[in-house]
């Protein structure tokens, strides 16, 4: 009988031990946790799904690529994903524990749509052509992974909405924002002149003397567009180059080249690029909606960055040692790649093979 009891006790101890290991958190922020099993499943999804990997490469500005072993991610890719999860846990903890809010079904649905848009915008901004749409990539996530990402997105949207100056991402609020900043979303018709550095001063002098955009392009530009007076065409909100073009010509008067030189690689050398807006055309909110949303998200992100940094500095964050280290970088707290042994041991082969000259004492 005693032997039977001993066997039962040993079996219970083994079961408890296994349960502790399987439930050990990979990441935790205050009371919010991600188990090792969840974390491993998420990495497996990123490793096996090229669409997910493409979008999260764009979002993290990291190469979430394969590691040295079969079916693994690189250590840097795993750390980049861990940072996304830690930030999400910190936001969920703040909204749930401090602000006492849990997202509704409507909020979760809206958050999933916005997350897909953010993924698509991130890929577009770095000129990635992902194999599937962002919506499809999200749908292909394991359900717990998708639910965690959507919950973090929903809570992030709610948290931002509580910050002074934040822009609500509802259709009505975005339409109001567009109406208040309508001129930021005009279709821009643009001409360009690519000028060799040796002729830049002459170009600027001719521009200040009153020569027209077309005359200047025909006279100085080495680009084939000079045959059309430098015309590059018209760019509307939503086109891939619209946001960067809008930034480059911000504050310029219509019909005049910029006086700030932009360097451009042309042929085998580097030349000077001058841009001129030749006309502007108003757009509707429907035409500009994607860019309006991206601008609102960017403005909100700037507001939220300080709050997020405060959360990460304040919160109790733990990271399993096999996953990485929680430390302070120049950009703030983050998960670092774990310390790994070097490819060669601390003892050289000479030490291992040379006979000891000092006898053992």
Over residues 142-185, the pLDDT tens digits come to 999 999 999 999 999 899 889 888 898 889 999 999 999 999 99
Diameter of the chain by CA atoms?
108
Say which CATH class 187-281 falls into. Answer: alpha beta
Helix (H, G, I), strand (E, B) or coil at 261: coil
Residue range 133-144: average pLDDT?
95
In this structure, what DSSP letter does residue 239 have?
A: S
Per-residue pLDDT of 217-275, as tens digits, reads 999 999 999 999 999 999 999 888 898 899 999 889 999 998 888 888 887 789 999 99
Tokens of 277: 């807006």
C-alpha of 350 from chain center: 48
> How crowded is residue 186: how many other Cβ atoms within 10 Å of its Cβ?
18
Distance CA 215, CA 114 (A): 46
Distance CA 227, CA 218 (A): 6
- Phi/psi for 271 (5° steps) reads -125, 180
Note the CATH number of domain 2-176+293-336: 1.10.4030
Domain ranges (residues) in the chain: 2-176+293-336, 187-281
Query: What's the pLDDT score for residue 63?
Result: 79
CB 197 within 8 A of CB 264: no
C-alpha of 211 from chain center: 43
The closest of 92, 70, 225 to 152, measured between CA atoms, is: 92
Query: What's the pLDDT score for residue 18?
Result: 34
Q: What's the whole-model pTM score?
A: 0.65
């Amino acid at each position: 009988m005693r032997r039977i009891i001993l066997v039962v006790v040993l079996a219970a101890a083994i079961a408890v031990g296994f349960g502790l290991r399987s439930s050990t958190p990979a990441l935790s922020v205050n009371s919010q946790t991600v188990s090792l099993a969840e974390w491993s499943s998420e990495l497996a999804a990123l490793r096996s799904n090229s669409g997910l990997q493409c979008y999260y490469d764009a979002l993290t500005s990291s190469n979430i690529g394969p590691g040295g072993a079969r079916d693994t991610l690189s250590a840097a890719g795993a750390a980049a994903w861990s940072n996304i999860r830690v930030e999400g846990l910190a936001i969920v903890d703040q909204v749930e524990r401090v602000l006492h809010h849990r997202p509704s079904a409507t909020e979760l649905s809206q958050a999933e749509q916005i997350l897909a848009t953010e993924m698509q915008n991130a890929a577009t901004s770095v000129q990635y052509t992902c194999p599937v749409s962002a919506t499809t990539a999200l749908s292909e996530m394991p359900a717990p992974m998708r639910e965690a990402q959507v919950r973090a997105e929903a809570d992030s949207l709610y948290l931002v909405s509580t910050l002074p100056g934040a822009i609500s991402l509802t259709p009505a609020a975005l339409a109001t924002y567009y109406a208040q900043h309508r001129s930021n979303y005009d279709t821009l018709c643009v001409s360009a002149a690519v000028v060799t550095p040796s002729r830049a001063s002459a170009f600027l002098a001719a521009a200040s003397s009153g020569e027209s955009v077309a005359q200047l392009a025909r006279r100085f530009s080495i680009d084939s567009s000079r045959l059309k007076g430098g015309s590059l065409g018209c760019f509307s909100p939503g086109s891939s180059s619209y946001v960067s073009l809008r930034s480059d010509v911000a504050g310029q008067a219509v019909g005049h080249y910029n006086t700030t030189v932009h360097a451009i690689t042309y042929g085998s050398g580097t030349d000077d690029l001058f841009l001129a807006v030749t006309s502007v055309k108003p757009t509707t909110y429907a035409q500009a909606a994607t860019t309006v949303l991206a601008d609102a998200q960017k403005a909100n992100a700037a507001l939220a960055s300080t709050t997020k940094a405060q959360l990460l500095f304040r919160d109790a964050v733990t990271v399993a040692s096999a996953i990485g280290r929680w430390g302070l970088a120049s950009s703030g707290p983050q998960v670092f790649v774990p310390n790994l042994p070097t490819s060669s041991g601390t003892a050289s082969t000479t030490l291992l093979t040379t006979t000891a000259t000092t006898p053992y004492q």
